[in-house]
Amino acid sequence: MMNLKKREEQPMNSMVTSFEDMEILGRQMERQRTNEELKQHERQPDPIQFDESTDGK
Protein backbone atom coordinates (compact mmCIF):
# COMPACT_ATOMS: atom_id res chain seq x y z
CA MET A 1 0.00 0.00 0.00
CA MET A 2 1.28 3.45 -0.93
CA ASN A 3 2.21 5.86 1.82
CA LEU A 4 -0.11 8.85 1.23
CA LYS A 5 1.96 11.23 3.35
CA LYS A 6 5.04 10.56 1.21
CA ARG A 7 3.01 11.14 -1.96
CA GLU A 8 1.70 14.49 -0.69
CA GLU A 9 5.26 15.71 -0.05
CA GLN A 10 6.36 15.06 -3.62
CA PRO A 11 5.95 18.12 -5.86
CA MET A 12 3.55 17.87 -8.76
CA ASN A 13 4.92 18.30 -12.28
CA SER A 14 4.08 21.92 -12.86
CA MET A 15 5.66 24.94 -14.48
CA VAL A 16 4.59 27.19 -11.60
CA THR A 17 3.80 26.66 -7.95
CA SER A 18 1.63 29.70 -7.23
CA PHE A 19 -0.78 32.07 -8.93
CA GLU A 20 1.80 34.87 -8.65
CA ASP A 21 4.37 32.75 -10.49
CA MET A 22 1.76 31.98 -13.16
CA GLU A 23 1.13 35.70 -13.73
CA ILE A 24 4.87 36.36 -14.05
CA LEU A 25 5.32 33.47 -16.48
CA GLY A 26 2.34 34.71 -18.53
CA ARG A 27 3.89 38.19 -18.85
CA GLN A 28 7.21 36.64 -19.91
CA MET A 29 5.47 34.54 -22.55
CA GLU A 30 3.59 37.58 -23.92
CA ARG A 31 6.92 39.36 -24.47
CA GLN A 32 8.50 36.32 -26.16
CA ARG A 33 9.40 37.09 -29.77
CA THR A 34 8.17 34.91 -32.62
CA ASN A 35 10.57 33.25 -35.06
CA GLU A 36 9.66 35.85 -37.70
CA GLU A 37 10.42 38.71 -35.29
CA LEU A 38 13.76 37.13 -34.46
CA LYS A 39 14.63 36.80 -38.16
CA GLN A 40 13.73 40.48 -38.75
CA HIS A 41 16.30 41.41 -36.10
CA GLU A 42 18.85 39.03 -37.65
CA ARG A 43 18.61 36.55 -34.79
CA GLN A 44 18.51 32.76 -35.07
CA PRO A 45 15.40 30.98 -33.74
CA ASP A 46 16.03 28.18 -31.26
CA PRO A 47 16.68 25.14 -33.50
CA ILE A 48 15.43 22.71 -30.87
CA GLN A 49 11.99 24.35 -30.71
CA PHE A 50 11.66 25.30 -34.38
CA ASP A 51 11.79 22.83 -37.23
CA GLU A 52 11.32 24.58 -40.58
CA SER A 53 10.18 21.37 -42.28
CA THR A 54 7.20 21.04 -39.93
CA ASP A 55 6.64 24.57 -38.58
CA GLY A 56 7.64 26.69 -41.58
CA LYS A 57 5.60 27.45 -44.64
Condensed to tens digits (0 to 9), the pLDDT of residues 1-57 reads 555 555 555 566 667 888 999 999 999 999 988 888 988 988 887 767 656 676 665
Q: Is residue 55 part of a domain?
A: no
Decide if 8 is inside a domain: no
Domain assignment present for 42: yes
* HSE, side-chain direction, 13 A CA sphere, residue 29: 7
Global pTM value: 0.45
For residue 54, being part of any structural domain is answered with no
Q: Residue 36 is part of which domain span?
A: 17-46
Q: Is the residue at 21 inside a domain?
A: yes
In a domain, 25, yes or no: yes
Instruction: Please write the tens of the pLDDT for every residue from 20-32.
Output: 999 999 999 999 8
SS3 label, residue 55: helix
Number of domains in the chain: 1
